[in-house]
């Protein structure tokens, strides 16, 4: 699987950040499985799977597949290719499955549900959690609170779409990033809007 093939898939993960995801997932999947919040059509999950497979490790990816606020009809990131006109809803699940099959990935486990509902029932400790779900303050904070506690010591928390400058993007991911730094996380590496934090 080559990075330019992954880069052609629909999604919100630029190639330079995707390559960082692969590198970090290789490192931290040696500690435990990977959990992604926000599968969308699988682009970032496939970058993660490429690193995790080297440790024979799984990538769980959660999404209710109804899309975030910005993906809804008439919103900024609406995409008719993932809109189910019959049922009048966004549905990214068919394209997620199609992309997993197209890339012949064997270690992605899609979970179709709300991230917080799954967290309340999830007991296994994780090597890395990647938060890329809803970008409202409430959604991002819920994901941080419910999933950061499930990371093993020396495991990683990765957060996408961090913009220090409010003119460049929403502030919710930056807020949870700062919150993590005040708790027991420290920066391992930063690539553009992606931050990888280690749990102490």
C-alpha 36/C-alpha 76 separation (Å) is: 23
Q: What is the DSSP letter of 30?
A: T
Which pair of structure tokens corresponds to residue 159? 């957060």
191 and 158 Cβ atoms separated by less than 8 Å: no
* Distance in Å, CB of 153 to ligand SAH, minimum: 26
Coil vs helix vs strand at 93: helix
Interaction of residue 99 with ligand SAH, rule CB under 6 A: no
| Binding residues among 140-199 for ligand SAH as defined by CB under 6 A | none
Q: Which span sits near ligand SAH by CB under 6 A: 51-59, 98-106, 130-138, 178-186?
A: 130-138
Tell me if residue 16 is catalytic: no
Q: Which lies closer to ligand SAH via its Cβ, residue 69 or residue 168? A: 69
Q: Which of 60, 161, 162, 196 is in the footprint of Mg ion by CB under 5 A?
A: 161
Sheet holding 126-131, edge to edge: 108-112, 59-63, 34-37, 126-131, 151-159, 194-199, 185-191
Closest contact distance (angstroms) between CB of 113 and ligand SAH is 7
64 binds ligand SAH (CB under 6 A): yes
Residues 142 and 40: their CA atoms lie apart, in Å, by 18
Q: Does 160 bind Mg ion (CB under 5 A)?
A: yes
# residues contacting ligand SAH (CB under 6 A): 21
Q: Active-site residue among 64, 65, 71, 135?
A: 135
The residues assigned a catalytic role are 135
């Amino acid at each position: 699987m080559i990075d330019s093939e992954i880069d052609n898939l629909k999604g919100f993960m630029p190639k330079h950040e995707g390559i960082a995801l692969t590198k970090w997932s290789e490192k931290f999947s040696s500690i435990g499985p990977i959990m992604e919040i926000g599968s969308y059509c699988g682009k970032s999950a496939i970058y993660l799977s490429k690193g995790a497979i080297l440790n024979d490790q799984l990538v769980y990816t959660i999404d209710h597949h109804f899309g975030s606020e910005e993906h809804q009809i008439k919103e900024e990131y609406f995409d008719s290719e993932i809109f189910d006109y019959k049922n009048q809803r966004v549905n990214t699940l068919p394209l997620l499955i199609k992309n997993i099959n197209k890339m012949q990935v064997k270690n992605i486990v899609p979970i179709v549900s709300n991230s917080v509902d799954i967290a309340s029932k999830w007991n296994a400790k994780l090597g890395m959690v990647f938060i890329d779900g809803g970008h409202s303050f409430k959604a991002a904070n819920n994901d941080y609170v419910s999933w950061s506690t499930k990371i093993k010591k020396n495991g990683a928390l990765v957060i996408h779409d961090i913009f220090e400058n409010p003119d460049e993007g929403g502030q919710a991911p930056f807020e949870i990033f700062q919150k993590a730094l005040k708790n027991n996380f420290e920066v391992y590496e930063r690539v553009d809007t992606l931050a990888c934090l280690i749990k102490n």
